[in-house]
Chain A
Amino acid sequence: MNNDNPIEGTSPPDAVTQESAGNDGGAIERADRRDVLAPFITVAAWIVPGLGHLLLGRWGRALIFLLTVGGLAITGYLLRGNVFPPHAGEPFGTLGFLADAGSGIFYFLSRFFESAGPNVSRAAGDYGTRFIAAAGIVNLLSAFDAYEIALGRRTM
């Protein structure tokens, strides 16, 4: 008799083999689907704060992230904080851009909210710069959270 199970040294019964194969197939299919969907959920969570969690059915978190990221970003713009452009040309400028761009759609709406441009000659503008960066960082954290939930690694 051919030995199919080298670890145990004996072959399992056929019925058990078929059942476990069916379960494994379903689990693998679900895992594949999660692997495909997770990046899309993450990108959605980045572009519109809270959208990733909304797609995952986490309404509470979606609302919290939309309000907090939006609140931080819009407050920053109204305080006339500095918005870093994509090609800053220096390391801190690049880091600033990455932080700012983390807020997704709010970064692209910066000209709408801050039509007069930044003014960091006053303290309020300096506070605004920090608010805008914090909005991006919080949104990136939420996007990573959505990714973990989409993959099924996080149940809470």
Chain B
Amino acid sequence: MIASWAELVDVPASSPQISHLAAMCLFALLVSVALAGLTKRTALERAKYAASCFLKFLAVGIAIGWLMYPFSH
């Protein structure tokens, strides 16, 4: 019996590396699609809402990143 995912695919023992931006984009994409599915009915409405929500996630994330930039020095 398969006890873990690692037995099925070759998962490295160390932590996978992912940039903050890539993680944010993936997170924003998945949450935007979920929110679009929750609030809109037709495919077109969902696509528009998901795209809008995704771009707003990125814009707010990047803006907050730049706002915090002075405190990192």
- Which A residues contact B (CB, under 8 angstroms)? 60-61, 64-65, 67-69, 71-72, 75, 77-80, 111-116, 119, 121-125, 127, 130-131, 134, 138, 141-142, 145, 156
Contacts and interface: CB of A to CB of B under 8 A. Distances in A.
A60 B18 CA distance: 31
Nearest to B17: A124
B59 interface: no
Given A79-B16, A123-B20, A68 B33 contact: yes
A125 B27 contact: no
A61 B40 CA distance: 10
Nearest to B41: A156
A138 B15 contact: no
Chain B interface SS verdict (over half): helix
Nearest to A53: B37
B16 A78 contact: yes
Contacts of A127: 18, 20, 23, 27
Contact of A131 (B13, B27, B37): B27
Contacts of B3: 112, 115
Nearest to A141: B38
A68 B27 contact: no
Nearest to B11: A78
Interface in B1-54: 3-6, 11, 13, 15-18, 20, 23, 26-27, 30-31, 33-34, 36-38, 40-41, 43, 46
Contacts of B4: 111-113, 115
A126 B29 CA distance: 18
Contacts of A112: 3-5
Contacts of A67: 33
